[in-house]
Amino acid sequence: MALVFYNWQQGPAPSSQYNHLSPLLAGFESWVLQNIGGSDLGGYVRRPVVGGSAWSSHAFGAAWDWAPPSREAALQLVDAIIANPAAFGIQAIHDYAGSRVWRVGRGWQAQAPGSHGGEMGVNTHFHFEVAQSSWGNTFEVPSGFGEIPETMTRIETAQVLYMAGFRGDALWKMVAIAGRESGYRPAAHRTDQNPSEMSGDRGLFQINWIHDDRLIRAGIINSPQDLFNPVIAARAAYFLSSGGEEAALGQLWGAGPNGWNGQGNYLYGTNPQAAQAAVNEARESGVLTQTWSPGGSIPSFPSGPGQGVGPVELPRDAQLVRTEKGLFAVFNLGHGTFIWYTIPNDGSVEFDHSDVVKMSNAKFREKYPRGIDGGSALELGPITDEWGTYRSYWENVLIEVIGLRNPARDDPGVRRVLAMYAGRPDMSEAELRNRLEATRWWNQRTEQELAWNDLSAAERNKRMNDTAVQMAQVWFQLTGQQAELSQFRSGQYLEKIASGRMSIDMWAETIVKDRAENMPNSPWSRTLRDEREAKRQRGVDIENTQNQIRDTLNTWGLRWNDKTIEDWARKIMSKKASDDDLLQTVQDQAVVLYPWKDREIDTRTASQPWVQAYSTLMEKEGTLFTPQIQKALQQGQSAWDFEQELKRSEEWASTQNGQRSIDETISEVGSMFGYVQ
């Protein structure tokens, strides 16, 4: 049955029937996020269209916005929907980056940049709209499109592994391991218990049940059965093996004549030659970079609106190198870090053959010892289109992840992790954080703090003076105000930063930026206004909800980053979560942070004895987030012990209360010995 377009904006106002996201779209969203990835940007929200008064299709729960892991993956999915819209139940697609809209029965229509409430040509997400006739349907993956095959080919296995992030030798090694472990059967299940208990080894890579809790905490699986999905199984394998590191491969899949052996050879009983041949064939045919989905690969689609399928143009700063293994586009990221992409030999990538430098494999490894395998050069097209050079794209990655002034930018270990992220921009936030925290630079922060205790007074004083200068520079950059160094020498944060207990970036983020934001003419305040205008933040309702969430967090003594707050606001606005869900989560976290208090009593109320003690003794206002108060509350220190500790501090001794108490003590002691009449 053909799908008929329905204009939600011209219909009546949303009735009670449309007070949640369409069941079809909810199922479609779940399937897309699980099998392709990306981020949910919101579905149901009762609001008019951006920049207008008519009801948005979102107000009917008839639309869902998606930030894809890559434009290529999105366009491949779009092509599949357009080929069979009735099967998907989708009547319209907005491609904001491409400034175009597709409607069933009408095809693609170009849109003026800046139209649709200013989003066309500005935002990069996709908007899917369901037909009225299919609004209440249950989403079912089109026949043949979502059926996981009983047995996968080596090439299909290479695809799902590539999608998960495996590169270089780790890619073909995992293809080989899958052959031995499961015979390339996604539903393989080896157990000596009742199969329904989900114990034993499961899926394409026979991942053991002992890893389930860790995979659930990491957000990779929701239930043990998820490992029978080859896409999810590949992500789990990538996570557990840290991207295919040698030691992890041996521990997870080491084998010998008697089966699993954590000290054994992970390639025992495999066919490495066949695995390598499959990966090479997939790469040369272009299949490797296609999005594999249950039932087959989603077909390739042109890289932009109105474009035919043509050769990909490389970034201008590509260095072309040919070795016995193939042809590579290499990019110098600075500080001894390189990333390379494999160029297929089928003419799909355009380059000047006269620029190719030949070298042996050994020479290649010698010249690029800290290189990262970024995958296929077919993925470089969008980078060329948007940035022109890979170095420009790389600088944007650095700023986006760790900021403009973060000294970690120059650390080889950190840059290597960020190079991996540049080659895999769909890397999860959790994986990126874990990899950064495992770097030597990150761990040295603790070492710096320990080393502080061994410094002489003169060395400490010099470091604190240098730190005060840095703080003054940061203060000026964010507030636009010149400040005397004495202002920072007498502040509570100087020693923390100088000793390494707090980074200067954290001080800038948590202290200076908050103050600078309240200065209307400060550089940081102007930057925020410019960013808000550029991003054209969607909807006052979400912003109000975010503020309400912040108020709730402040009441319960918690700090969340802006991304987490925004995610919760979107969930609440789209009715995927309630205010009660938020409160339960906040209470759970508060109980962990402040285990001594009653769960039902908010932390601000419970902390009043400590706050009052601080304000009285230190002669200045204290809050729940005052560092000394926070430390006492988190350690479960009694209010009396807290008062005694404050009275032992030099800061208290300099207050009027402290001086008066000291004078009284001296007077009493003098009287005892007859020195005071």
Q: What is the pLDDT of residues 485-536, one digit of tens each?
A: 888 877 778 888 888 777 888 888 888 888 888 888 889 888 888 777 655 5
My answer on whether 125 and 86 are in the same domain is: yes
H helix intervals, 84-228: 85-88, 115-118, 154-164, 168-182, 212-217
Residues 259-293 have pLDDT tens digits of: 666 567 889 889 999 999 999 888 877 778 776 76
My answer on whether 123 and 18 are in the same domain is: yes
My answer on whether 465 and 573 are in the same domain is: yes
Residue 252 φ then ψ, to 5°: -85, -40
624 in a structural domain: yes
Q: What is the pLDDT of residue 146?
A: 56
47 in a structural domain: yes
Query: Residue 179's closest CA among 75, 274, 85?
Result: 274
Q: Provide the 10 A C-beta neighbour count for residue 1.
A: 6
Gap between the terminal Cα atoms of the chain:
107
Q: What is the pLDDT of residue 520?
A: 86
Given 91, 117, 134, the domain boundary residue is: 134
Q: What is the pLDDT of residue 173?
A: 94
What's the rounded Cα separation, in Å, for the pair 651 and 666? 19
My answer on whether 378 and 464 are in the same domain is: no
Show the tokens assigned to 328: 């590579």
My answer on whether 398 and 350 are in the same domain is: yes
601 in a structural domain: no
Tell me how far CA of residue 112 lies from CA of 118, 128, 185, in angstroms: 10, 19, 49
Residues 402-415 have pLDDT tens digits of: 766 566 778 888 88
Expressed as residue numbers, the domain containing 513 is 452-593
100-103 and 107-110 beta bridge pairing = antiparallel
My answer on whether 261 and 225 are in the same domain is: yes
Given 438, 467, 484, the domain boundary residue is: 438
**One-letter identity of residue 126:** F
Show the tokens assigned to 250: 């041996």
What's the rounded Cα separation, in Å, for the pair 426 and 379? 12
My answer on whether 459 and 561 are in the same domain is: yes
500 in a structural domain: yes
Strand partners, 126: 66, 95
Low-confidence residues in the chain, pLDDT < 70: 1-2, 49-53, 117, 143-147, 256-263, 291, 293-310, 403-407, 425-430, 444-454, 533-540, 666-677
Residue 332 φ then ψ, to 5°: -90, 115
Residues 575 and 561 sit within 8 Å (Cβ to Cβ): no
Q: What is the pLDDT of residue 347?
A: 77
Show the tokens assigned to 377: 């050069």
My answer on whether 228 and 288 are in the same domain is: yes
DSSP letter for each residue of 610-673: HHHHHHHHHTS---TT-HHHHHHHHHT--HHHHHHHHHTSHHHHTSHHHHHHHHHHHHHHHHHT
8-state DSSP, 336: T
What's the rounded Cα separation, in Å, for the pair 63 and 436? 37
Q: What is the CA radius of gyration of the chain?
A: 30
Q: What is the pLDDT of residue 425?
A: 61
What's the rounded Cα separation, in Å, for the pair 386 and 315? 10
> Which stretch of DSSP H or E encloses residue 48?
none
My answer on whether 267 and 180 are in the same domain is: yes
> Which stretch of DSSP H or E encloses residue 628?
helix 627-635
H helix intervals, 23-125: 23-35, 71-83, 85-88, 115-118
Domain count, the chain: 5
445 in a structural domain: no
Residue 633: partners with Cβ closer than 8 Å, 6 or more residues away? 557, 594, 603, 607, 610, 624
Q: What is the pLDDT of residue 217?
A: 79
My answer on whether 464 and 584 are in the same domain is: yes
My answer on whether 293 and 163 are in the same domain is: yes
190 in a structural domain: no
575 in a structural domain: yes
State the average pLDDT for the chain: 82
Residue 357: partners with Cβ closer than 8 Å, 6 or more residues away? 319, 320, 321, 322
Show the tokens assigned to 544: 């109000």
Within 13 Å and on the Cβ side, how many CA atoms surround 344?
24
Using a pLDDT cut of 90, give the percent of the chain over it. Answer: 19
472 in a structural domain: yes
Query: Residue 343's closest CA among 360, 321, 317, 363?
Result: 321
Given 438, 470, 487, the domain boundary residue is: 438
What's the rounded Cα separation, in Å, for the pair 6 and 131? 6
Tell me how far CA of residue 325 lies from CA of 162, 197, 342, 361, 362, in angstroms: 18, 46, 10, 7, 11
Q: What is the pLDDT of residue 309?
A: 41
3-state SS, residue 597: coil
My answer on whether 497 and 418 are in the same domain is: no
E-only strand ranges, 283-419 = 292-293, 296-297, 312-313, 319-323, 326-334, 337-342, 349-350, 357-358, 371-376
Burial class of residue 262, CB neighbours in 10 A (0-12, 13-18, 19+) = exposed
